[in-house]
A and B are shown apart, each in its own frame.
Chain A
Amino acid sequence: DIQMTQSPASLSASLGETVTIECRASEDIYNGLAWYQQKPGKSPQLLIYNANSLHTGVPSRFSGSGSGTQYSLKINSLQSEDVASYFCQQYYDYPYTFGAGTKLELK
């Protein structure tokens, strides 16, 4: 199985700051990577797919980058509504696997 190592596990940032979340795959996943946002008590929502493509309706302050085994999610100009947990997920191969998540809080 492909292991997804996500960091940091938690993150505290101020409004307007830029934050970056990293995800490392145990093998090359050829950009088969998605990022999801999950707010407390809600279901996950797709943010980014194919490592760097913004899903419809997602604010442009979210961006994804990376290749091979290393990927990242960047949130520019942090807003209060961005407080959530974020998960990376590889869909290059079965079983699909997720990172353990990053809990983003406001400082």
Chain B
Amino acid sequence: EVQLVESGGGLVQPGRSMKLSCAASGFTFNNYDMAWVCQAPKKGLEWVATISYDGSSTYYRDSVKGRFTISRDNAKSTLYLQMDSLRSEDTATYYCARLTSYVMDAWGQGASVTVSS
């Protein structure tokens, strides 16, 4: 069974950093591109970033470029999102998702991030 389990969320002050992790199991992690998607409270979904199966390529939405870094450790089957210079508008639930031919076909349960003083 495919499982994606996010961790590392919580309350953080504006301007500070936070790192999310997503532990994958039930599939061969290093065969798949992976993504992060966020959802602000009571709002819609927003794609955040994508990383290729081998980590060689990354893509970001404009609002997080230069502040967020997506990475992966294939030996640990784990995806990461390093979030720096956090802003109140980054407050959201962050989901990791597996990409199969560009489609998000498996999602984690989400990690809640609240940016507030």
Interface residues of A (CB under 8 A from B): 32, 34, 36, 38, 42-46, 49-50, 55, 87, 89, 91, 94-101
A44 near B102: Cβ-Cβ < 8 Å: no
How many Å lie between the Cα of A47 and that of B44 in the bound state? 17
Q: Tell me which residues across on chain A come within 8 A of B102, comparing CB atoms.
A: 32, 91
Q: Tell me which residues across on chain A come within 8 A of B107, comparing CB atoms.
A: 43-45
How many Å lie between the Cα of A46 and that of B2 in the bound state? 14
Chain B's nearest CB lies how many Å from the CB of A53? 9
Of the residues A46, A100, A101, contact of B103 by C-beta under 8 Å: A46
Chain B's nearest CB lies how many Å from the CB of A60? 18
How many Å lie between the Cα of A103 and that of B44 in the bound state? 11
Chain B's nearest CB lies how many Å from the CB of A76? 23
**What mask results when residues 32 to 70 of chain B are scored 1 for a CB within 8 Å of chain A, else 0?**
000101000000111100100000000101100000000
B103 near A98: Cβ-Cβ < 8 Å: no
Of the residues B44, B62, B110, contact of A95 by C-beta under 8 Å: B62
User: In the complex where A94-B59, A95-B61 touch, is A44 in contact with B45 (Cβ < 8 A)?
Assistant: yes
A87: nearest residue on chain B (CB-CB)? B45
> Is B12 engaged at the interface, CB distance under 8 Å to the other chain?
no
Add 11 more A-B contacts to A44-B45, A98-B46, A100-B44 (CB < 8 A).
Answer: A36-B104, A38-B45, A43-B95, A43-B109, A44-B95, A45-B107, A46-B104, A87-B45, A95-B61, A95-B62, A96-B35
